[in-house]
Structure 1
């Protein structure tokens, strides 16, 4: 097939920060080619593309700051830089690139809530978890790695059968590297994430493979100092004085983020070369539509339907109620900042929730009980308590939600309990007469329910901004979080609550922001 000469020319006009040798090393594995060939074909044909990026603070764009206004055009995060490349190749297409990353969050959260964070028509899903996922694991049957595998499987099965790419940042300084010490090559989750990617035939892109030896040699442009220790350069183009890092963790916008975008661009360019050798054909579509193979870890099957029912998706979970009202406590806000929930403020009010507590885990991974997470409002005034009890279908021990704390903040918190698997688990939440609030309040607000597949670590405030992210009109996660934080305590989720998981937890969540 002949593509428009202008698009082909613009495809090769991207200026790489990485050398050709580093690009060749950084394209660690091209994996199965069909899905990326389809992506490159759509780009060169001028068709609109849908891209979603999942990851932590690196994908959010941390480190991509500009010291001077004139530096801003080049000091951008890798997702934005990649979007600029796509728009430059086919500006008429109207590509949609959605950044659903959030600082400090691991792949475990996304493995549960991926259906609500990835655009349903995605053509490409980028997974960047080499920094946030833990490195001190032994074996692939640990819950942290099982969750990442389920995330890969879910992404591969989205309706458009998107290309799924693992992109790994490597922080040389965090790995112990400096101008006189050597960074540990093995200190990254990439070691095991890449094995999972190899099993599923995914493209694997690696900053470690591309530039480790340059960092170790303290080569020009890859020095182990980080950008905030250095004065501003005079050039608005690539300056060899710029280090690859803005701080010990995050890449700098004019170097490290550029290098990450380079790897994505180079992957598309390689796919375009493949199309020049053999045009896209029926064999590519057949390969893209092949069933996802059996799990790498036996029994690690995922549920195709969402187990993460938050905000608007939570309304239908209440099968019956008395005294509860479905209400938006921020009706004038844009969709991403609205605060929906089932709310009651009188003792004796009850809501009967019905949801599926089964998972698709098999064999040794299957459990007699699965964890359920109810998200609820916790605040410092007029808050009440509620009993949570399994009524039919499933069984569980009775527990109590307490919505009061002394902190002058209103945040979403997580109430966790174990329930036996059942397709129609019915759980009754009843507002109690007893109240911990000094003002004797009885307000109870339920905002979501999550049925956990394996281990699940998160903060309620993170789940607030993650809810319903499949919608194109919802802005990037980090923008939502910052806007909510700037507005001060609200009816739900402004920051991290003390009732959530603490730093230093099993997943180290929040320790790598």
Structure 2
């Protein structure tokens, strides 16, 4: 459960030299059990994306999950009510409630940029350590293992320019990440061989999760994340919009794209008498929260107005241009839309219209998915200002 680093962005041979493949190949070589693996990372997303959309990336019967999001989640300079940690807590809780109660491991990485490296403390890794302690999950750190080998005792083979390129680890960096996870598994195996788990310790697996470390920070009660084909199937009209894969076959980036002001995209969120995500999201109220996935970029992007038709009411204005950064940042962002389905005898449709207004030189806008959710805190997703770059 990872982002572009673990997607093997700068590994020379995806499936061979990236850390995840190295780890899986090692694991298969030392065990007689069948090893099934899934690299479910989604580049250019924060951990909150996975809180709502992890079903697209995680096998429900998984036994081990590695989370690597410390770069994409950015930095929030606070200890109390740290939005990044609160998002991560919801993700951990969802994972630990899966069928096999999987082991969860945090794989932390430093913030290494082309011309500078953020200070050792400029990361949420340390405050996320409270989560590791509270939920008894493991954590391994590329930052901790390599920082002093660069700063205090520069060591050939571990220097940033030998292990990183453009914010992402290269083959040598991936090898170091694999070593960390492999060493953790080896230590656990040796420990269990030396001190086998007692029946009482095994029984602890049946214990329910404790209440959230942050008061009231429960995981979503219900979430339906519609992307790719499931999202495309919501479309009932796309005048001036195209369904396009702006990525590759191995790294697809599907979405509805328009560059022309006045273009209208209409999505059917709910149909009278038909059970669906919108119906489930409307629990005891006519209003339900909807998260819209859209592209936020330094490139010439435009603005859209979002409103609802039929029996629903909603209203929002969204700007796809990221103007407050000197870096070339393109991210999948989410915006919260409150939808009120007043008349259930009529369908609930959402319309996205490209506006003439723009803060850039262009009007391009891309919508790539929606999330129907019922949760305790949809305000959990933090502002783009807290993100770094993907």
Task: Flag whether TM exceeds 0.5 (same fold).
Answer: yes
Task: Give the distance between the partners of 1:337 and 1:209, measured in 2 at CA.
Answer: 33
Give, in angstroms, the shift of residue 153 of structure 1. 0.9
Contact 1:154–1:304, Cα closer than 8 Å, also in 2: no
Give, in angstroms, the shift of residue 415 of structure 1. 8.9
Give, in angstroms, the shift of residue 413 of structure 1. 9.1
Alignment size in residue pairs: 339
Q: Which residue of 2 aligns with 1:262?
A: 179
Contact 1:369–1:420, Cα closer than 8 Å, also in 2: yes
Give, in angstroms, the shift of residue 285 of structure 1. 3.8
Measured against aligned partners, the alpha-carbon deviations of 1:326-363 in whole angstroms (never above 9, x if no partner) come to: xx999xx999969799xxxxx9x98451614479xxxx
Structure 1: unaligned runs, 5 residues or longer: 1-53, 67-71, 178-182, 228-244, 342-346, 360-367, 377-384, 401-411, 437-444, 458-500
Taking structure 1 as reference, are residues 97 and 427 closer, same or farther at Cα in structure 2, changes over 3 Å only?
A: same
Task: Give the distance between the partners of 2:158 and 2:111, measured in 1 at CA.
Answer: 12
Alignment of 1:30-41 (within 5 A): none
- 3-state SS in 1 of match to 2:171: coil
Structure with higher Rg: it is 1
- 3-state SS in 2 of match to 1:262: helix
Give, in angstroms, the shift of residue 226 of structure 1. 0.8
Taking structure 1 as reference, are residues 186 and 415 closer, same or farther at Cα in structure 2, changes over 3 Å only?
A: closer
- 3-state SS in 2 of match to 1:204: strand
Task: Give the distance between the partners of 1:95 and 1:128, measured in 2 at CA.
Answer: 21
Q: Which residue of 1 aligns with 2:292?
A: 373
Contact 2:6–2:19, Cα closer than 8 Å, also in 1: yes
Measured against aligned partners, the alpha-carbon deviations of 1:225-254 in whole angstroms (never above 9, x if no partner) come to: 513xxxxxxxxxxxxxxxxx1326333313
Measured against aligned partners, the alpha-carbon deviations of 1:134-161 in whole angstroms (never above 9, x if no partner) come to: 1243234243332111111111111110
Counterpart among 80, 103, 123 of residue 188 in structure 1? 123
Measured against aligned partners, the alpha-carbon deviations of 1:100-142 in whole angstroms (never above 9, x if no partner) come to: 2233322122222123221111111101122222124323424
Structure 2: unaligned runs, 5 residues or longer: 257-263, 272-277, 296-303, 319-330, 357-365
Alignment of 1:449-464 (within 5 A): 449-451=370-372, 453-456=378-381
Give, in angstroms, the shift of residue 369 of structure 1. 7.5
Q: Which residue of 1 aligns with 2:324?
A: none
Taking structure 1 as reference, are residues 150 and 322 closer, same or farther at Cα in structure 2, changes over 3 Å only?
A: same
Taking structure 1 as reference, are residues 213 and 339 closer, same or farther at Cα in structure 2, changes over 3 Å only?
A: closer
Measured against aligned partners, the alpha-carbon deviations of 1:279-328 in whole angstroms (never above 9, x if no partner) come to: 3454344222321211111111112543312345558979xx899xxxx9
Give, in angstroms, the shift of residue 216 of structure 1. 1.8
Taking structure 1 as reference, are residues 146 and 269 closer, same or farther at Cα in structure 2, changes over 3 Å only?
A: same
- 3-state SS in 2 of match to 1:191: helix
Task: Give the distance between the partners of 1:311 and 1:322, measured in 2 at CA.
Answer: 17
Taking structure 1 as reference, are residues 312 and 207 closer, same or farther at Cα in structure 2, changes over 3 Å only?
A: same
1:249 aligns with 2:170: no
1:207 aligns with 2:142: yes
Measured against aligned partners, the alpha-carbon deviations of 1:439-470 in whole angstroms (never above 9, x if no partner) come to: xxxxxx9974213633548xxxxxxxxxxxxx
Task: Give the distance between the partners of 1:387 and 1:105, measured in 2 at CA.
Answer: 22
Contact 1:130–1:193, Cα closer than 8 Å, also in 2: no
Q: Which residue of 1 aligns with 2:299?
A: none
Larger fraction in strand: 2
For the aligned residues, what is the CA RMSD? 4.8
1:427 aligns with 2:367: no
Task: Give the distance between the partners of 2:43 and 2:232, measured in 1 at CA.
Answer: 28
Q: Which residue of 1 aligns with 2:387?
A: 508
1:112 aligns with 2:52: yes
Q: Which residue of 2 aligns with 1:30?
A: none
Measured against aligned partners, the alpha-carbon deviations of 1:428-447 in whole angstroms (never above 9, x if no partner) come to: 24799x999xxxxxxxx997
1:144 aligns with 2:84: yes
Task: Give the distance between the partners of 1:150 and 1:133, measured in 2 at CA.
Answer: 14
Task: Give the distance between the partners of 2:66 and 2:332, measured in 1 at CA.
Answer: 29
Counterpart among 216, 229, 238 of residue 299 in structure 1? 216
Q: Which residue of 2 aligns with 1:389?
A: 308
